[in-house]
Amino acid sequence: MFCFISLDASVFKGQRAYMKLCKSCHKSGGKLAKSHTQEEWEEYFDNNAKLLKSAHAKDSKVMDMLNSEKFNKNLKHMKQFFYKYASDSGNVPACN
């Protein structure tokens, strides 16, 4: 498997963005990250998060956030966060 995570992506920035944008619905970022493998997270965030957006398509409020400049600015960081703490990564975040 090849990983195409951007080298300038930051796990810390991804965790911080998750806390601001997603925690109110999904709660613990660590638990959510563990719900998928690294490969699955790659798929969710590929093509400008097409699969992630598809999973939230019925919620217009969430879709507004997923199509926002703030989300797009943090996309690579959030991808890095979820990838690092995926179920098959062996990593555990220090705090949520």
- The per-residue pLDDT for 52 is 97
Report the C-alpha gap between 44 and 93 in whole angstroms. Answer: 20
Q: Tens-of-pLDDT digits for all 96 residues of the chain?
A: 444 445 578 999 999 999 999 999 999 988 999 999 999 999 999 999 999 999 999 999 999 999 999 999 999 999 999 999 999 999 987 755
Q: What angle separates helix 11-21 from helix 69-84, to the nearest 10 degrees?
A: 120
Angle at 51 between CA 9 and CA 8, to 5 degrees: 5
